[in-house]
């Protein structure tokens, strides 16, 4: 697979990386429901067999369990080791409820725990998962701590997730920002107006998450399946998976399916390729819960949509605008 440089780093990453959110399993606030660890490891291995060279996880996913599974997958993988990206700054209580914590001491505890669970000596990209409340000085404290960890050699590069332009500027005043990880998909396009153009101008790498809108645009989601999502799957209460938005989103999938048929691909791959066509985007994080799912989406980085196909998608939005 072709690679691109991530921001100011020396990391050359594939257009698609493996996303380990769902494989954290149940037991916390933003879980995707129960998950079989052996299926997860098989998915990671299949993604790497297909040429993916980076994995994105976070300490909060499954309250450490995702990192443990990634560590197991790395330990049992005999090929070239992928880059490992993880995140800090979200802490779960005994009931799995999540709060933000960018205290220096907390981040230092988190990085040590992540290194141990992942079974690595250094983390390739360490990211603040969510910014603190607006104007909180904790942003500066947290980002300064990540910069210290980079100088100390515990992490190679540092980035942020879910930051807006103002927050990126505050971080950049302390230390260079290698990358931003924002949500970006055909369902969530808010970052197009200010955030993506800013990152492009400033040379900040962008790795987008949920390019298939958390499974909504895969082509496998139906109204019946959405209605049957388990109670411990956070998507059950998400507005995009419920009416009135669900019907419109599924209609969008049918437009993607028409384009996908021409390429012999899935709607999900078209959705991923659509995010990658933006010049600000370096790579897209793509989840898979088993090897079969990985097989179906990890080649999306090789797919290029024509201007005509992009226009077809945009015309659908114009036609269905309320």
Q: Which residues pair with 13 in a beta bridge?
A: 4
DSSP-derived pairing of the beta strands 90-92 and 98-100: antiparallel
Residues in the chain: 322
Tally of CA atoms within 13 A in the half-sphere of 306 that contains its CB: 7
**Residue in 73, 4, 64, 7 with CA at minimum distance from that of residue 41:** 73
DSSP-derived pairing of the beta strands 205-208 and 283-287: parallel
Catalytic hit among 61, 83, 126, 209: 61
Six-digit token string for 161: 């997730």
Is the CB of residue 245 less than 8 Å from the CB of residue 320?
no
Rounded to 10 degrees, what is the CA torsion of 205, 87, 131, 102?
Answer: -140
Let me know if 198 is a catalytic residue: no
Helix (H, G, I), strand (E, B) or coil at 299: coil
Q: Which helix (H) or strand (E) holds 19?
A: strand 16-19
Six-digit token string for 38: 């052996």
Supply the residues annotated as catalytic. Answer: 61
């Amino acid at each position: 697979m072709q690679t691109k440089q991530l921001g100011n780093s020396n990391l050359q990453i594939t257009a698609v990386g493996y996303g380990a959110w769902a494989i954290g399993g149940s037991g916390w606030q933003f879980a995707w429901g129960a998950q079989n660890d052996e299926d997860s490891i098989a998915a990671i291995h299949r993604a790497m067999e297909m040429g993916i060279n980076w994995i994105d996880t976070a300490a909060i996913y499954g309250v450490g369990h995702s990192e443990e599974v990634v560590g197991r997958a790395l330990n049992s993988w005999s090929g070239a080791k992928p880059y490992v990206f993880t995140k800090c700054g979200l802490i779960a209580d005994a009931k799995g409820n999540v709060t933000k914590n960018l205290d220096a001491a907390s981040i230092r505890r988190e990085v040590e725990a992540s290194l141990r669970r992942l079974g690595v000596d250094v983390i390739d990209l360490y990211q603040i998962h969510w910014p603190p409340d607006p104007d909180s000085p904790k942003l500066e404290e947290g980002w300064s701590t990540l910069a210290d960890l980079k100088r100390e050699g515990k992490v190679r590069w540092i980035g942020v997730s879910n930051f807006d332009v103002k927050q990126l500027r505050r971080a950049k005043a302390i230390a260079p920002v290698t990358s931003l990880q924002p949500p970006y998909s055909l369902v969530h396009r808010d970052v197009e107006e200010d955030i993506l153009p800013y990152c492009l101008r400033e040379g900040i790498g962008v790795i987008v998450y949920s390019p298939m809108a958390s499974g909504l645009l895969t082509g496998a989601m139906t109204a019946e399946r959405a209605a049957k999502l388990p109670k411990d799957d956070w998507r059950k209460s998400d507005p995009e998976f419920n009416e009135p938005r669900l019907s419109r989103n599924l209609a969008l999938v049918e437009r993607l399916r028409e384009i996908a048929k021409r390429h012999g691909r899935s709607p999900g791959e078209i959705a991923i390729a659509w995010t990658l066509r933006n010049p600000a985007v370096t790579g897209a994080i793509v989840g898979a819960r088993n090897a079969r799912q990985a097989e179906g989406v990890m080649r999306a980085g090789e797919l290029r949509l024509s201007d005509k196909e992009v226009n077809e998608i945009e015309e659908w939005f114009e036609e269905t605008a309320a």
